[in-house]
């Protein structure tokens, strides 16, 4: 019997996202055993770590960190919870952290407090002697999950059958698997981040007539519009339909082909939330991440990467008000670092990125203790062929700013 699936499969991490959305949570870490109550997938670890209080975990991490010294470097993405980011030797968005991973070659172990695609990228850009560790292997990214290798290969075959491979340049957002980055590297394409997306579009259109942009349709559309590409020159590729749901003619006439992926955190922001923020705070400046929909980006006063948002607010005059459309852990931190300004999240529901949130301090403590005992827990490795071509695409990204 053939089972027909009519509706697209939603990555499990996206389904789980709502389990982390609360109306009255201050996001302070609880013991991991208590957090397991959220009813989502977490990686199993020894029970003793689950029952250790957040205060004791903090003490354990400090001691293990001191004992390991310069053998270990901890990288922390801006969306990590406070109890984890406090241990980061380097904080940043995925672009800044990948630059750091490429530049530093002293530490034997890189503990990446972020999500899976970031740890893969660090493995690709670091030396062969360095080992990259992701504290919790269930810390993935629902957007990256939306571009499965086989689906993207099918899409690439269809597009190159219709147009030939030298007309179309693949660009993948950093938030994609190493396989997708490799496909871009092997086919004269590039990786981008939200910091350099426009520069990579310029780079790509100097080489070919069309761009296939993976996997975030919103960042692709927002960047395309910024570059002067019109909406009717863009098509969306739905991996669950033949030819992505487009005719050959539509594909031939398009300039920008957007993979039908999105971020489950940034697509929560709405134009109505912006209107409410303006009503409550008439002088408010609204800044959002370009993973938000184009309606939200258009209604906002400005948009940019997490590094851009952080810098914009920290350099603003005292007394200014900011409504921010990005992940709540970062918004709360910006608010705490700018006590002379009013900074709040556009979404009144407290909704951290469900996968970033899986890096609980218990996991950080567990992997550090493993290193003290001579065991590498949760190492992320990328195979040689994938590494070769994804590194090419990443090095192009690092050279295009
Ligand atoms: S915020 Fe969105 S894109 Fe970033 S890791 Fe979470 S789900 Fe993925």
Q: What are the pLDDT digits (tens) for 128-173?
A: 999 999 999 999 999 999 999 999 999 999 999 998 878 899 999 9
380 CA from centroid of ligand 1 (Å): 19
- Residue 8 per-residue DSSP state: P
Which class does domain 144-264+385-399 fall in? Answer: alpha beta
| Torsion sign over Cα 217, 95, 136, 387 | positive
25 CA from centroid of ligand 1 (Å): 20
Angle ∠(180,184,155) on CA atoms, nearest 5: 70
Residue nearest to atom 5 of ligand 1 (CA): 141
Residue 245, classified by CB atoms within 10 Å of its CB into exposed (0-12), middle (13-18) or buried (19+), is middle
Cα(156)–Cα(235) distance, integer angstroms: 15
For the chain, give every domain's residue range: 27-140+355-383, 144-264+385-399, 266-345
Cα(354)–Cα(117) distance, integer angstroms: 15
306-334 pLDDT per residue, tens? 999 999 999 999 999 999 999 999 999 99
| Cβ contacts of 215 within 8 Å, gap of 6 or more | 143, 144, 146, 147, 172, 173, 175, 176, 180, 259, 261
CATH number of 266-345: 3.40.50.10800
Which helix (H) or strand (E) segment holds residue 170: the answer is strand 168-173
Q: Which residues line ligand 1 (CB under 6 A)?
A: 79, 115, 141-143, 175, 263-265, 327, 353, 355-356
pLDDT at 25: 64
Residue nearest to atom 6 of ligand 1 (CA): 353
CATH 3.40.50.10800 for the 27-140+355-383 domain, yes or no: yes
Of 10-19, 156-165, 198-207, 355-364, the range with the lowest mean pLDDT is 10-19
pLDDT at 372: 98
Residue nearest to atom 8 of ligand 1 (CA): 141
pLDDT > 90: percent of the chain = 81
pTM score, whole prediction? 0.93
Probe target for ligand 1 pocket from 113, 262, 263, 292, with the most ligand atoms within 8 Å of CB: 263
Probe target for ligand 1 pocket from 144, 174, 215, 264, with the most ligand atoms within 8 Å of CB: 264
The ligand 1 atom nearest the CA atom of 17 = 7
Residue nearest to atom 2 of ligand 1 (CA): 263
Cα(176)–Cα(67) distance, integer angstroms: 35
353 CA from centroid of ligand 1 (Å): 6
pLDDT at 375: 97
The ligand 1 atom nearest the CA atom of 175 = 3
142 CA from centroid of ligand 1 (Å): 7
- Topology match between the domains 144-264+385-399 and 266-345: yes
231-282 pLDDT per residue, tens? 999 999 999 999 999 999 999 999 999 999 999 999 999 999 999 999 999 9
Residue nearest to atom 3 of ligand 1 (CA): 263
14 CA from centroid of ligand 1 (Å): 10
Angle ∠(350,351,352) on CA atoms, nearest 5: 115
């Amino acid at each position: 019997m053939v089972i027909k699936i009519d509706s697209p499969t939603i990555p499990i991490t996206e389904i789980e996202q709502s389990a982390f959305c609360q109306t009255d949570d201050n996001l302070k870490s609880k013991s991991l055993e208590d957090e397991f109550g959220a009813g989502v997938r977490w990686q199993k670890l020894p029970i003793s770590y689950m029952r250790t209080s957040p205060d004791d975990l903090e003490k354990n991490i400090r001691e293990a960190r001191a004992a390991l010294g310069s053998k270990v470097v901890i990288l922390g993405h801006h969306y990590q919870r406070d109890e984890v980011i406090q241990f980061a030797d380097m904080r940043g968005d995925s672009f800044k952290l990948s630059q750091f991973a490429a530049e530093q070659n002293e530490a034997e172990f890189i503990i990446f407090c972020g999500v899976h695609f970031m740890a893969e990228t660090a493995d690709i850009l670091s030396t062969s002697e360095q080992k990259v560790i992701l504290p919790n292997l269930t810390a993935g990214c629902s957007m990256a999950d939306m571009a499965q290798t086989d689906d993207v290969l099918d899409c690439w075959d269809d597009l190159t059958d219709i147009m030939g491979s030298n007309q179309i340049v693949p660009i993948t957002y950093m938030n994609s698997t190493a396989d997708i980055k490799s496909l871009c590297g092997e086919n004269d394409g590039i990786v981008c981040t939200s910091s350099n997306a426009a520069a990579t579009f310029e780079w790509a259109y100097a080489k070919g007539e069309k761009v296939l942009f993976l996997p975030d349709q919103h960042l692709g559309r927002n960047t395309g519009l910024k570059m002067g590409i019109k909406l009717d020159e863009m098509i969306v590729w739905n991996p669950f339909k033949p030819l992505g749901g487009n005719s050959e003619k539509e594909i031939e006439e398009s300039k920008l082909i957007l993979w039908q992926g999105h971020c489950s955190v940034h697509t929560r922001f709405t134009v109505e939330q912006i209107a409410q923020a303006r009503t409550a705070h008439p002088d408010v400046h609204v800044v959002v991440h370009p993973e938000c929909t184009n309606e939200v980006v258009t209604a906002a006063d400005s948009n940019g990467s997490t590094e851009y948002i952080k810098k914009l607010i920290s350099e603003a005059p005292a007394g200014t008000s900011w409504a921010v459309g990005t992940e709540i852990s970062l918004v709360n931190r910006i608010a705490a670092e700018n006590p002379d300004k009013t900074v709040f999240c556009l979404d009144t529901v407290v909704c951290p990125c469900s996968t970033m949130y899986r890096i609980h301090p218990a996991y950080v403590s567990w992997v550090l203790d493993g290193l003290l005992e001579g065991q590498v827990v949760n190492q992320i490795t990328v195979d040689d062929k994938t590494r070769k071509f994804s590194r090419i695409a990443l090095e192009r990204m690092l050279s295009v700013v």
